[in-house]
Amino acid sequence: MAKHSEQLLTGLLGLSEQSSRKSHYPELLEQLKQLERERNRYKWLFEHANYGVFQAFAGGGFRAANPAMLALLGYDSVDQLLAEDDQIGERVFVGGRSELDRINSMLMSRGSLLGYETRMRTRDGADIDVLINIFLNTDERGLVEGFVANITERKRAQLRLLQLNQELEQRVNERTAALHDSNLHLQQQVRQREQVEQALREARDAAEAANRSKDKYLAAASHDLLQPLNAARLLISTLQERPLLGEDRHLVQRAHLALEGAEDLLKDLLDIARLDQDAVTAEIGTCSLAALYESLLSEFEPVARQSGLRLDAFISRLHVRADCHLLMRIMRNFVSNACRYTRQGRILLGVRKEGQRVRLEVWDTGVGLSPEQLGAAFQEFRQFGKVQNGVRKGVGLGLAIVERIAGLMEARIQVRSRPGRGSCFSVELPLAQAPQQVASPVAAVSSPALNPLQGRRILVVDNEPDILLSMAALLGQWECEVVVAATLDEAILALDALPPDIILADLHLDDGCNGLEVVAGLRRYFAAEIPAVLVTADQADEQAQLRQQLKVPVLNKSVRPSKLRAILSQRLSSF
């Protein structure tokens, strides 16, 4: 073949063996060999390329195609492809003649067509997506050369990606719509909740206003009702101390019990209301157990003796940390219940010290409580058992008040009981160091046999005529010299320049005045530190600072004659 090429080249160039240009033959032969190598290289690339390569006529017929192109279109050989008719181009392109004309038009106007995407149909009728680059052959008119890449998988991937994007967008839209609906629903719930909370706030405010009104009403009603009840009780107490026939004494006793029940009910209702409204605060200090128990003995010994009971107390020198006034309320309730529900036997006030804690106990030999009754003992309006004859029955609020008071002082209440054997109520408090001087809730009374009130001049100041009348009758029966007045001026006039031994003044007087102002005015008038006792049904104690400055103790209404006698005796003995 090399020899034939050499002869052909020699003939083409017009050279002969005798030519004078024979000296150029080796160079031309070398160039021919180089061209042959290039042709073989391009032929190898043409046959082994991964993408399809073809030559075709602009009219539509193929001239040549590499194996990749044949495989792309589904032909087994070049001859099989070239054996097709001249219209094969129209059948290869899915768009047919219109697509072929479109490609030729762009190719003629541009000279080449790069990166053009179209669709081809294989021999078995399948459609594939392809990317083609087509060039015009400059050496032969009407001949084009092209490179074809199968992008079917890429198009499918793009289509799938597009579908996924559309599905994702649809799902996002659905989720967005659902979220929007949820937000609207949530906003509606928030608005409804705000409306409910506003309604609850309004209901709470209304309830609190109603409670405040109730407290004011109870305070006003209890004060107004206690005034005539106090007067009636003082008068009945006066009658009780006089010699009466059996039937008359019984009637007076029954009236006395009825009044006590009405008074205690009013006071308990007011106490419950004030405790529930946090209107009571505990002023923690040091309390002497000796003074506490002596006061309880002084108050309840006559009651126990009248019921045929024995009241004893273990007088301890210990002191506890507590509000002395509130502690006295707790212990008075325990002792009162013991007297009420004990038919025979004794009542003992005991003290137990355990480490830094002290337990004050009230033991009785009364009816006792069952385990079921113990669980409900501190509920409101709960009463257990029958009281003994001649003793007033309670209203069932005492232990409920005790529990609330104990909570204010952070004290521990305990109760142990056996039906038919008796009970033990106790309150546990922290131990305190004994001070130099300790104020007791109510000082112990002097021996009544000495009658320290005999001949004493006592000024009673009150704006209620019934109170003045009943107080004068009771104090007169105790052999006191009684002077009564409604105002400071009336008091000065009635005393006739002779100071009283003690002043017993009501807190609330007419025209906005109060008993403390009367005490201060009389002390200035007589230039003497006259002892005084303030009587009131007002639990608020708004004049506490002035009362402490004047050193005036309080006696709460309704006034019990035994307590009145005790505090008057104590105050007179202190001056």
Q: Which two tokens stand for residue 405?
A: 């008071």
Q: What is the dihedral of CA 154, 156, 159, 165, to 10 degrees?
A: -80
Please report where in the chains the tokens 């952070």 appear, as a residue: 410
Name which of 53-67, 89-103, 218-232, 447-461 the model is least confident about: 218-232
Handedness of CA 255, 256, 261, 266 (dihedral sign): positive
Query: How far is residue 57's CA from residue 140's CA, in Å, rounded to a whole number?
Result: 10
Q: How far is CA 121 from CA 75, 152, 247, in A?
A: 12, 12, 133
- Rounded CA separation 403/119 (Å): 96
The pLDDT > 90 percentage for the chain reads 21
CB proximity list for 560: less than 8 A, separation 6 or greater: 299
d(CA 463, CA 183): 69
Residues 522, 499 contacting (CB under 8 angstroms):
yes
Which of 19-33, 272-286, 433-447 has the lowest average pLDDT?
433-447
Backbone φ and ψ for 84, nearest 5 degrees, come out as -65, 165
Look at residues 451, 445, 300, 424 and name the one whose alpha carbon lies nearest to residue 368: 424
Q: Which residues pair with 471 in a beta bridge?
A: none
The residues, any chain, with a CB within 8 Å of residue 328's CB and separated by 6 or more, are 292, 295, 296, 441, 442
Q: Which residue has the higher pLDDT, 372 or 570?
A: 570
Rounded average pLDDT over 501-514: 87
* Phi-psi category of residue 87: left, alpha or beta, with phi > 0 → left and psi -120 to 50 → alpha: alpha
Give the list of residues 6+ apart from residue 199 with CB closer than 8 angstroms, or none.
none
CATH topology of domain 282-444: Heat Shock Protein 90 (3.30.565)
Contact 362, 424 (CB under 8 A): yes
**Which token pair is 206?**
């209304």
Predicted pLDDT of residue 25: 72
Provide the pLDDT for residue 362: 92
321, 348 contact by CB (below 8 A): no
Indicate if the pLDDT at residue 324 is higher than 80. yes
pLDDT at residue 274 in the model: 65
Q: What is the token pair recorded at 483?
A: 């002077």
pLDDT class of 198 with cuts at 50, 70, 90: very high
Please report, for residues 143, 151, 154, 167, the alpha-carbon distance to residue 162 in angstroms, rounded to integers and kept in the order given.
38, 16, 12, 8
Note the pLDDT of residue 493. 92
At residue 443, the pLDDT reads 39
Asked: is 447-575 a CATH 3.80.10.10 domain? The reply is: no
Q: CA 235, CA 237: separation in Å to the nearest integer?
A: 5
pLDDT at site 430: 92
Which residue, chain included where needed, has tokens 């301890």? 316
Nearest Cα neighbor of 499 from 534, 457, 553 is 457
For 179-197, letters b (16+ CB in 10 Å) and e give eeeeeeeeeeeeeeeeeee
Closest alpha carbon to 462 in 507, 492, 497, 522: 507
User: Would the pLDDT of 513 be above 90?
Assistant: no
Q: What phi, psi does 357 have (nearest 5°)?
A: -120, 150
Average pLDDT estimate for 297-301: 83
Residue 368 has pLDDT above 90, yes or no: no
- For the segment 404-433, the average pLDDT, to the nearest whole number, is 87
Return the minimum-mean-pLDDT range out of 242-246, 267-271, 392-396, 472-476: 392-396
Q: How many beta carbons lie within 10 A of that of residue 491, not counting itself?
A: 23
- Residue 192 has what pLDDT? 92
What is the distance between the alpha carbons of residues 45 and 50, in angstroms, rounded to a whole number?
9
Res 307: pLDDT: 83
Mean pLDDT, residues 56-65 taken together: 78
pLDDT at residue number 359: 93
C-alpha–C-alpha distance, residues 361 and 350, integer Å: 5
CB 458 within 8 A of CB 482: yes
pLDDT of residue 248: 73
What's residue 8's pLDDT? Answer: 44
Catalogue the E-assigned strands of 23-136. Answer: 52-57, 62-65, 112-121, 127-136
Alpha-helical (H) ranges within 277-415 are 289-306, 324-341, 371-375, 398-409
Residue 474 has pLDDT above 60, yes or no: yes
Q: Which residues contact 47 (CB under 8 A, 6 or more apart)?
A: 66, 67
Among 29-38, 269-278, 402-411, the range with the most confident prediction by mean pLDDT is 402-411
Q: What's the confidence (pLDDT) of residue 143?
A: 87
391 vs 229, more confident: 229
Cα end-to-end distance, the chain, whole Å: 158
Provide the percentage of residues in the chain whose pLDDT is more than 70: 77
Q: CA angle, 26 as apex, 21 and 32 as ends, to 5°? A: 110
pLDDT of residue 5: 46
Domain spans in the chain, listed from the N-terminal domain onward: 1-14+22-44, 49-150, 173-279, 282-444, 447-575
For residue 448, pLDDT over 50 is answered with no
26-40, 70-84, 221-235, 502-516 — which is least confidently predicted?
221-235
Tokens of 337: 């219940």
CATH architecture of 173-279: Orthogonal Bundle (1.10)
Looking at residue 12, its amino acid is: L
Quote the CA–CA distance of 10 and 4 in Å, as a whole number.
10
Could you name the CATH architecture of 49-150?
2-Layer Sandwich (3.30)
pTM over 0.85: no
Q: Look at residue 168 and give its three-state secondary structure.
A: helix
Burial class (CB in 10 A: 0-12, 13-18, 19+), 347: buried
| pLDDT of amino acid 458 | 93
Angle at which helices 246-276 and 398-409 cross, to 10°: 40
278: confidence class by pLDDT, cuts 50, 70, 90? low
- pLDDT tops 80 at residue 33: no
Q: What is the mean pLDDT of residues 412-433?
A: 88
Alpha-carbon distance of 470 to 557, in angstroms, equals 14
List, for residues 531-544, the tens digit of each pLDDT value: 999 888 765 555 66
d(CA 161, CA 120): 23
Contact 302, 338 (CB under 8 A): no
Confidence at residue 319, expressed as pLDDT on a 0 to 100 scale: 93
Q: How confident is the model at residue 305 (pLDDT cuts 50, 70, 90)?
A: confident
Phi, psi dihedrals of residue 552, rounded to the nearest 5°: -115, 115
Task: Tell me whether domains 49-150 and 447-575 share a fold.
Answer: no
Average pLDDT, the chain: 79
Residue 343: predicted pLDDT: 87
Residue pair 487/464 in contact (Cβ under 8 Å)? The answer is no
- Residue 320: which of 348, 271, 282 has the closest Cα? 282
Examine the pLDDT at 333 and tell me if it is beyond 60: yes
State the pLDDT confidence band at 366, using cuts at 50, 70 and 90.
confident
> Rg of the chain over CA atoms, in angstroms?
60
In whole angstroms, give the CA distance from residue 481 to residue 458. 6
3-state secondary structure of 12: helix
DSSP 387: P
